[in-house]
Homo-oligomer: A and B are copies of this chain.
Amino acid sequence: MGMPDVDVKVAENVANLIQPIRDDLMSGAAEIALRAITVYQSVLSGEQKSPEQLKSNLTFTAKTLIDAQPAMAPLFHLGNDILMAIENGQTVEDIQNRCTNALTQFEKTLCASASTIADIAYDLIDPGELIFAYSFSSTVVSALLNARARGRFFRVVCTEARPSMEGRKLASRLASGGIEVIHTFDNAMGLVLGNCSAAFMGCDCIARPGVVNKVGSWMLAVACRELNVPLYALSGTEKFVTDERLFEFEKHERPGVEVWDNTPKGVAVLNQQFDLVPFNLLTGLVTEKGILKEVDIEPYVSNVTVHRALTLAAI
Instruction: Mark A residues whose CB is within 8 Å of B.
Output: 159-163, 168, 171-172, 174-176, 178-192, 215-216, 218-219, 222-223, 226, 259-260, 263-272, 275
Contact = CB atoms under 8 A, between A and B. Distances in A.
Given A188-B270, A222-B223, A222-B226, 12 more contacts: A162-B186, A172-B264, A178-B266, A179-B266, A182-B268, A184-B259, A185-B186, A185-B215, A185-B271, A188-B215, A191-B215, A191-B270
Given A183-B269, A271-B184, A190 B175 contact: no
A219 B189 contact: yes
A156 to B, nearest CB: 10
A223 B219 CA distance: 7
B183 A268 contact: yes
Interface centre among A172, A188, A226 (most CB of B within 10 A): A188
A185 B163 contact: yes
Contacts of A260: 160, 168, 183
Contact of A187 (B162, B168, B184, B264): B162
B267 A183 contact: yes
A192 B275 CA distance: 11
Contacts of A171: 264, 267
A175 B262 CA distance: 14
Nearest to A156: B267
Given A162-B160, A272-B191, A175 B264 contact: yes
Nearest to A160: B162
Contact of A267 (B181, B188, B223): B181
Which of A161, A171, A184 has the most B CB atoms < 10 Å from its CB? A184
B216 A188 contact: yes
Nearest to A159: B187
A184 B269 contact: yes
Contact of A190 (B191, B192, B218): B218
Given A161-B187, A186-B186, A259-B183, A176 B264 contact: yes
Contact of A270 (B183, B186, B219, B265): B183
A199 to B, nearest CB: 14
A187 B215 contact: yes
A216 B192 contact: no
8 contacts: A160-B260, A172-B267, A176-B266, A184-B259, A185-B259, A185-B271, A186-B187, A188-B215
Nearest to A158: B267
Identify the interface centre among A181, A186, A263: most chain B CB within 10 Å of its CB.
Answer: A186
B219 A266 contact: no
A219 B268 contact: no
A267 B219 contact: no
Given A175-B265, A264-B172, A184 B270 contact: yes
A227 to B, nearest CB: 9
